[in-house]
Amino acid sequence: MKIGLVQLNPVIGDFEKNCAKISEWSQRAKERGCSLVIFPELAVSGYPPQDLLERKAFLDASDQAVANLITDLPDLDVMFGCFERRKNKRGKPLYNSAVVIRRKEIVFRARKQLLPSYDVFDETRYFEPGAPSEIYELQGYHFCVTVCEDVWHHEIRDHEIKPVADFFAAAAEKRMSVDAVINISASPFQRDKEGMRKVVFSEICKNHTVPFLYCNQVGGQDSLLFDGRSFGMDNSGGIIVQAAGFEEDMIIIDDLCRIGEIHSTLQQVPEAGVYDALVMGVKDYATKCGFSSAVLGLSGGIDSAVTAAIAVDALGSENILGVALPSPYSSPDSFEDAQSLAVNLGCNFEVISIAELFTAFKKSLAPLFQRVPEDLTEQNLQARIRGNLLMALSNKFNHLLLTTGNKSEMAVGYCTLYGDMSGGLAVISDVPKQLVYQLAGYINRDTVVIPDRTISKAPTAELKPDQCDQDDLPPYDILDRVLELHLEGGEGVGEIVERGFEESMVRDILRRVRLNEYKRKQAPMGLKVTTKAFGYGRRFPNVQNFQQ
């Protein structure tokens, strides 16, 4: 029996388009001899629909879409994810389900039992847990069907319900064999997650001596990036076949007993996955929101250079406008590097000097600022002038304005509200500074795209004479490690100091993180690539004074 796994890139709420894709890919699977084709979690609506699930019109549209899809599917079993309404008035109104269509009717349902409510997930807000599912049978084969979190129970949380183990225990009582575990997912990308998935899923294969079929969503959805990379494993956890990353794809499993490669197919360059995810994220965010072009400031620094390279790969060089906005403190080297980058990328390049505007701003403020020395205020004025000019270009030409601040800067507030934080999408706001340099090396792996001087020179905002980031911040390798322990590891002052870091420095870094929460609440949406990004997956109050 041949089984197809299809990883879709849906648009949330575009039921007609999403269902057309399901129908078209199902026809391709049939033409390739498949008896079963599998699609991801909530493939009909797209994931995550969030509070659209509280709108009756949205639920009605989904019901109609599923009804129409059932009549349009070819003659093979088609499994896809959708939400279903519950008739019981107690509890939540919906199930997160996997359904199977056969000969124009639903012949099987499996409802998600474990509903994640951590980090970016909030499924208990909308869904009721399902009951243990029955065995899905096709052509003499017996399958355990699960939805996303149901196969992560032993890794993420110590749940009382263990869907896979419970399923196999029930099957053993009935003396019924299980030929494979199927999991439909909308599992977001983050660094190192591909390896984690394969470890967790291979344990299921080994523990129950059963193959594992994993079908994951692909595409960017707001800040979430879904990598796809669906695969089939044999009963010892070896990879039989794997789909492409970060693009729609279909793979065919034609023999569940085939022996796979134990070493799997992880990317050899760790930053490659992050880079591909960010490219996909920019492309999908722009196109799904109706943009075909983007604009960004090019300072000659590493952050804007990496962001520009990502943007060009996402939208095409002809659709990217890089703008140099030199101030009285900008060095000739920085302008030359920005211009060289634009030439190397083949993108459009313009220059707008802010010197006269900066002088005009200071003149307007002089009556109020007299007898007060220049300080951070004047530095921020330059950043805000740049932000206004870039937003004007965005408004006039319908360019998506990309901001270029990295996670290290965002964490400690080394950025200007309404200045360099102005924009529609913060491309690298979840990328720590050290990883920015790794991405630059990856971009330059075959030829020099980012000028060598951009990578080698000391980072600087160039908002005052002889400025350097390290005048105000610890070295980035130290800063990034402290921030990782605090933001992703949840560690406080005492725990981080016990690791050998100097206490006053740690306290200062965590103080900056705490005090700049208000800035991040007003920042553009960013693309998530780490285990804990700024945004709706990290919920801290602006007003608080917990200092541990």
Residue pair 315/288 in contact by the 8 Å Cβ criterion:
no
Provide the angle, in degrees to the nearest 10, between the axes of the packed helices 193-208 and 163-173. Answer: 20
Q: Average pLDDT in the 402-430 region?
A: 97
The residues near 443 (Cβ < 8 Å, ≥ 6 apart) are: 275, 306, 309, 449, 450
Do 30 and 59 have their domain in common? Answer: yes
Give how far Cα 373 sits from Cα of 332, 368, 377, 378, Å: 27, 12, 10, 10
Do 150 and 78 have their domain in common? Answer: yes
Q: How far apart are CA 103 and CA 23, in angstroms?
A: 14
The pTM for the full model equals 0.95
Do 227 and 278 have their domain in common? Answer: no
Q: Average pLDDT in the 504-515 region?
A: 96
Do 152 and 18 have their domain in common? Answer: yes
pLDDT number for residue 192? 85
- Residue 537 falls inside a structural domain: no
pLDDT surpasses 70 at 514: yes
Secondary element (H or E) of residue 57: helix 56-72
Give pLDDT tens digits for 77-97: 999 999 999 988 899 999 999
Q: Average pLDDT in the 173-192 region?
A: 95
Lay out the sheet containing 400-403: strands in order across: 348-351, 320-324, 294-297, 400-403, 425-426
Q: How many CB atoms lie within 10 A of CB 161?
A: 12
pLDDT number for residue 267? 54
The residues near 216 (Cβ < 8 Å, ≥ 6 apart) are: 7, 40, 185, 186, 187, 226, 227, 228, 229, 230
- Residue 9 falls inside a structural domain: yes
First-to-last alpha carbon distance for the chain, in angstroms, is: 58
Reference 10, options 44, 53, 54, 60; nearest CA is 44
Residue 462 a catalytic site member? no
- Residue 159 falls inside a structural domain: yes
CATH of the domain at 31: 3.60.110.10
Query: 257, 285, 311 — which closes off a domain?
Result: 257
Q: Average pLDDT in the 137-165 region?
A: 85
- Residue 128 falls inside a structural domain: yes
- Residue 534 falls inside a structural domain: no
Q: How far apart are CA 455 and CA 100, in angstroms?
A: 52
Q: How far apart are CA 10 and CA 28, in angstroms?
A: 18
Residue 112 a catalytic site member? yes
- Residue 234 falls inside a structural domain: yes
Supply φ then ψ for residue 107, to 5 degrees: -110, -10
Q: Average pLDDT in the 128-141 region?
A: 96
One-letter amino acid identity for 394? S
Residue pair 29/50 in contact by the 8 Å Cβ criterion:
no
Note the Cα 13 to chain centre separation in Å. Answer: 19
3-state secondary structure of 209: coil
Sign of the torsion formed by the C-alpha atoms of 273, 474, 382 and 541: positive
Alpha-carbon Rg for the chain, nearest whole angstrom, is: 26
Do 214 and 292 have their domain in common? Answer: no
Pairing state between β 239-242 and 231-233: antiparallel
Residue pair 287/256 in contact by the 8 Å Cβ criterion:
no
pLDDT number for residue 520? 96
Give pLDDT tens digits for 11-34: 999 999 999 999 999 999 999 999
Reference 299, options 274, 269, 326, 321; nearest CA is 326
Q: Which residues pair with 253 in a beta bridge?
A: 3
Reference 21, options 80, 95, 98; nearest CA is 80
Q: Which residue has the tokens 């707008």?
A: 352
Give how far Cα 520 sits from Cα of 297, 514, 534, Å: 20, 11, 7
pLDDT number for residue 257? 81
Number of independent structural domains in the chain: 2
Do 236 and 293 have their domain in common? Answer: no
Residue 41 a catalytic site member? yes
Per-residue H/E/C for 120-159: CCCHHHCECCCCCCCCEEECCEEEEEEEHHHHCHHHHCCC
- Residue 527 falls inside a structural domain: no
Do 248 and 280 have their domain in common? Answer: no
pLDDT surpasses 80 at 212: yes
One-letter amino acid identity for 333? D
Q: Average pLDDT in the 129-138 region?
A: 96
pLDDT number for residue 154? 58
Cα-Cα-Cα-Cα dihedral of 431, 437, 440, 441, to 10°? -130
Q: How far apart are CA 87 and CA 262, in angstroms?
A: 46
Q: Average pLDDT in the 200-222 region?
A: 96
443: domain range?
A: 274-521
Do 359 and 428 have their domain in common? Answer: yes
pLDDT number for residue 120? 93
Per-residue H/E/C for 25-43: HHHHHHHCCEEEEECCCCC
Q: How far apart are CA 303 and CA 414, in angstroms?
A: 13
Q: How far apart are CA 547 and CA 538, in angstroms?
A: 17
Give pLDDT tens digits for 219-261: 999 999 999 999 999 999 999 999 999 999 999 999 888 877 6
- Tell me what the pLDDT averaged over the chain comes to: 94
Catalytic residue among 19, 34, 82, 148: 148
- Residue 323 falls inside a structural domain: yes
Do 106 and 40 have their domain in common? Answer: yes
pLDDT surpasses 80 at 156: no
Q: How far apart are CA 343 and CA 501, in angstroms?
A: 43
Q: What is the DSSP letter of 361?
A: H
Query: 257, 283, 316 — which closes off a domain?
Result: 257
Q: Average pLDDT in the 451-468 region?
A: 80
pLDDT number for residue 440? 98
Do 336 and 405 have their domain in common? Answer: yes
Query: 207, 224, 257 — which closes off a domain?
Result: 257
Sign of the torsion formed by the C-alpha atoms of 18, 24, 27 and 32: negative
pLDDT number for residue 263? 44
Do 315 and 391 have their domain in common? Answer: yes
Do 309 and 178 have their domain in common? Answer: no
CATH of the domain at 308: 3.40.50.620
Pairing state between β 294-297 and 34-38: unpaired
Residue pair 18/11 in contact by the 8 Å Cβ criterion:
yes
pLDDT number for residue 264? 44
